[in-house]
Amino acid sequence: MLNGILVIDKDKGMTSADVVYHLRKALHIRKIGHAGTLDPEVTGVLPIAIGQATKLIELMHTRPKEYIGSGLFGYATDSYDSTGTVLKKTKLTKAFTSEDIQNHMNEFLGEIEQVPPIYSAVKVNGKHLYEYAREGIEVERPKRKVDILQYDLTNKPTFNEKDGQEEFDFKIKCSKGTYVRSLVNDLGEKMNCPAVMTYLRRVASSGFDISQAVKLSEIEENPEKAAELIQPIDAFFKDYPQVDLSEGKWLKVKNGAGISLEIDAKKVALRYNKKVKAIYENKGKLYRPSLMLLQNE
């Protein structure tokens, strides 16, 4: 039985749910879920939790995500990306400087309130925003707080004098729930020039990066390779303080009992037989269960 995280490099044109569906068929495993939806047009890191690792999905969402992408000053769309209907157009007569763009990007750093695009999966009254958009129904979009850890210009922008447009590349590190499309659209609003996202690739998520990723097709063609490529559950907790349990303490942990530990940490990964069995949290005099794994006892 497979237990762990398979880091998939999602191709363009697929939904995150499509990836899960294909992996279920290829691996003949029902217990699979993804951490962090990627839009069909976006490629890159999609962590897939398999077996007991599905217990980690909520925790996986708490880790930052990293993206590289491109945007264009000159027009804006209803979807905030190049697939949408054009709403505004402006022909630039001169280029923005790198310094000007970066200074405005810096204004988004930290905790901000963001309005999701109308073409998004956010729900209002039990209905996705994109469903309202397709039906032409106006609805108030809920604001959400997100954390922007990095928003950087990654090279010199390219100005097309003939079209009056300027293309720029960026790197973003952010919390869950952040819409990068909105960050590009909102950057344009700050600079008084419509802007649209033209390309996006996620390069890291849930503590895993693109160097650990594999194409879905590779697993479908050789399902047995999943056992070699899967990241063990323990890899997710590599930054946690680790405690190896004696047999006596393991018996207590196995039953969910509180234990005393000679360590000062908020949360610890408890190991037995060289595997993380549980995450315990400091509750004063004793450490008590935060997450039980008990993988392959």
In tens, the pLDDT along 247-283 reads 999 999 999 999 999 888 999 999 999 999 999 999 9
C-beta of residue 280 within 8 angstroms of C-beta of residue 291: no
- Amino acid 284: pLDDT: 86
- What's the rounded Cα separation, in Å, for the pair 25 and 103? 48
Q: Provide the Cα torsion 2, 5, 7, 8; round to 10°.
A: 50
d(CA 158, CA 64): 29
The pLDDT value given to residue 296: 61
Same fold, 4-62+207-232 and 65-205: yes
Nearest to 76 by CA among 195, 158, 159, 168: 195
Domain residues of the chain, as ranges? 4-62+207-232, 65-205, 237-292
CATH of domain 4-62+207-232: 3.30.2350.10
* Cα 161 → chain centroid: 36
Q: Which CATH architecture has domain 237-292?
A: Roll (2.30)
| SS3 call for 233 | helix
Q: Active-site residues: which are they? A: 39
- Mean model confidence pLDDT for the chain: 92
pLDDT in tens, 59-69: 999 999 999 99
Q: Who's near 246: CB < 8 A, 6+ residues apart?
A: none
Q: Which stretches of the chain score pLDDT less than 50?
A: none
Q: Is 188 helix (H, G, I), strand (E, B) or coil?
A: helix
Class of domain 65-205 (CATH, top level) = alpha beta
Nearest C-alpha neighbor of 292 from the set 276, 241, 49: 276
Could you tell me which residues come within 8 angstroms of residue 6 by beta carbon, excluding any fewer than 6 positions away? 23, 47, 48, 50, 214, 219, 226, 229, 230, 231
Structure tokens at 8: 């998939």
- H helix runs in 149-231, sequence order: 180-190, 216-221, 226-229
pLDDT of 201: 98
Name beta bridge partners: 166. Answer: 73, 159
